[in-house]
Amino acid sequence: MTSISDEYYGKCLEKEFYLRDTHTVARELLGKYIVRGDIVVKITETESYIGSIDKACHAYGGRKTPRTLPLFAEGGIFYVYLIYGMYCCLNVITEGEGTPCGVLIRGGEVVRGADALSINRYNKPYSHITPYQRRNILNGPGRLCMGLDIDRSKNGVSCLSRELYIAHGEKTEADSIKTGKRIGIDYAEEAKDFLWRYYIG
């Protein structure tokens, strides 16, 4: 019997997709599918982070710590870290080895596996949650990771791994892609004003 994960794996993005300019990857991830077991989520919001010039990036100024080492890897792996000591955030590493860049996956929409996702988020089937809960089920990086049951065990895992990967999805037309300031980085001085957030609008 073919699982949902196997069904989509033939459409898995190639490693070369991630080895390009970070902003290009961030835009082109919109409309792609995150596949995790029987759950499929359409990516609707991303943010770029570029360590060489970006004070919001964990590796700004070449900062290497055990936490930031994945950022220096060759593009095509996941970078998962904790915020507020309790919520995970899912990122994909981009560009070449030694260039600390990545894209944060900020939000998505349910494509397949709504019940499994809802149980992960609210401990009840999708049909039993409120309209408010449905609107907020994946609208934020912590909520997205909760819905997909992603924790730090996925940190450093290949984006081509069958357990968690990104597949070709819907083509997003350029005129439907909006840009704005990134969220929750008021500490980042001039970088807080970079228009490096991309979303389907």
Domains of the chain: 4-200 (3.10.300.10)
Check residue 168 and give its pLDDT.
Answer: 96
pLDDT band at 86 (very low <50, low <70, confident <90, very high): confident
Check residue 101 and give its pLDDT.
Answer: 97
Examine the pLDDT at 20 and tell me if it is beyond 90: yes
Examine the pLDDT at 150 and tell me if it is beyond 70: yes
Check residue 1 and give its pLDDT.
Answer: 60
pTM score, whole prediction: 0.95
Examine the pLDDT at 81 and tell me if it is beyond 70: yes
Question: How much is the mean pLDDT over the chain?
Answer: 95
Check residue 171 and give its pLDDT.
Answer: 82
Give the list of residues 6+ apart from residue 115 with CB closer than 8 angstroms, or none: 125, 126, 127
For 188, the token pair is: 């980042």
pLDDT band at 153 (very low <50, low <70, confident <90, very high): very high
The model's pLDDT over 58-68, given as tens digits with 9 standing for 90+, comes to 999 899 999 99
Check residue 108 and give its pLDDT.
Answer: 97
Out of 47-51, 85-89, 102-106, 191-195, least confident range: 85-89
For range 146-163, the mean pLDDT:
96
Give the list of residues 6+ apart from residue 2 with CB closer than 8 angstroms, or none: none
Check residue 174 and give its pLDDT.
Answer: 85
Q: How many CB atoms lie within 10 A of CB 179?
A: 14
8 A C-beta contact, residue 138 and residue 109: yes
